[in-house]
Amino acid sequence: MTAVATLELHPGKERSLLRRHPWIYAGAVARVTGRPAPGDLVRVVGGDQRFLAWAAFSPASSIRARAWSFVETEMPDDAWLQAHIAAAVARRAALVTRTDARRLVFGEADGLPGLIVDQYADQLVVQLMAAGVDARREAIADALTAATGIDRIYERSDAASRQREGLPSREGTLRGAPPAGPVVIREDGVTYQVDVLRGHKTGFYIDQRDNRRLLAGLAAGRRVLNCFCYTGGFSLAALRGGAAEAWSIDSSADALEVARAQQSLNHIESPAHWIQADVFDALKQLASERRQFDLIVLDPPKFAPSVQHLDRATRAYKQLSLAALRLLAPGGRLLTFSCSGAVSVDLFQKVVAGAVIDARVDAQMLARLAAGEDHPVSMTHPEGEYLKGLMLGRL
């Protein structure tokens, strides 16, 4: 990894880097000396030529470069990369007592912008979401195998963010053989099947691990409604926790087929209703039937891919929360989430509060919810906090 160019910032634009925020926007760049290719390492300096960072160049992106190191004597080479990946993996070691599905690298939070690595048993799945890591795919694969001992690595660099980087979508095997079928993982006593080839994100919502355990601890004897259930993660956790029954809604017939199979895989006999429907329509139908539930989970897909979608997203979150609150029995609890990075924690709480007011119910916020410890948030990069949630209790 050799620096071939210098990226100079406009005066005053160095402040975010001095605070160790890793993103350098195009408007902050005064000039580029040299001819760096996408993903090349550049030396970032201020208008006074003072060193600020080593960063990966991305000429097609509005984030023109992403900082890898803020120490001039620590130029990121392959040895540096291997050490940082090994350290990220080591920080997740304690989770093996609960699960064999973990996020091993979480981009900027681990000092590796654009790199996402998930482990499902003996299979790794990587997402290379920025030019810098895309240019170093082979070195990254080598480092992952060295840190984990796993030589089965599949790439799922298929998110829309790659287009904004000027990178093509890419899927395929980086190391070893591709998975022959679903990968079986275990989490807090529940067995799940993960389709790493075609499943959402990298195949499973690892980030909701702690919230599934929370729900399981509340579920004994209760009626549970899981909206946007996908392959049934929350539902299976609740049923394993002793739920009297679980109703699960998703628009995908394929996802629900997997969910039913997973119920059998876990030898769960409690009543489970798997409903293929639009969630908004299904909630109206349940209300017309005067059904009530003791525990309701709202875990919708990303309603706001960017700030341009905020108005539409907030309307959807409010409509969804309002419908759920009308189905929540007195003494019941609502776990509601947003995975939209553009929706702040404060905004999400205000939207849900508005739904409580319109529903004319009395409710308390019992807890703020977030992703698990393998999805940390860098104190200098708060944008990494994409998953946020609230647990409400109805009085």
Q: Is 227 a catalytic residue?
A: no
DSSP notation for 13-62: TTHHHHTT--EEEGGGEEEEES-PPTT-EEEEE-TT--EEEEEEE-TTSS
Choose among 122, 158, 126: nearest CA to 140. Answer: 126
Cα–Cα distance, 140 to 112 (Å, whole number): 10
Choose among 77, 72, 104: nearest CA to 88. Answer: 104
Cα–Cα distance, 232 to 245 (Å, whole number): 13
**How large is the angle between the packed helices 209-218 and 233-240, nearest 10 degrees?**
40
Give 85's contacts (C-beta < 8 A, 6+ positions apart).
105, 112, 117, 140, 143, 144, 147
Both tokens assigned to 186: 């275990």
CB 293 within 8 A of CB 329: yes
Cα–Cα distance, 348 to 86 (Å, whole number): 35
CB pairs under 8 A, 24+ apart, for 11-19? Answer: 11/46, 11/47, 13/46, 14/46, 14/47, 14/50, 14/52, 17/44, 17/52, 17/53, 17/67, 17/70, 18/52, 19/380
Would strands 293-298 and 388-394 be described as parallel, antiparallel, or unpaired? Answer: unpaired
Active-site annotation holder among 295, 322, 339, 347: 339
Burial label, 331 (beta-carbon count in 10 A; 0-12, 13-18, 19+): exposed
The CA angle 343-117-226, to the nearest 5 degrees, is: 50
Q: Annotated catalytic sites, by residue?
A: 339
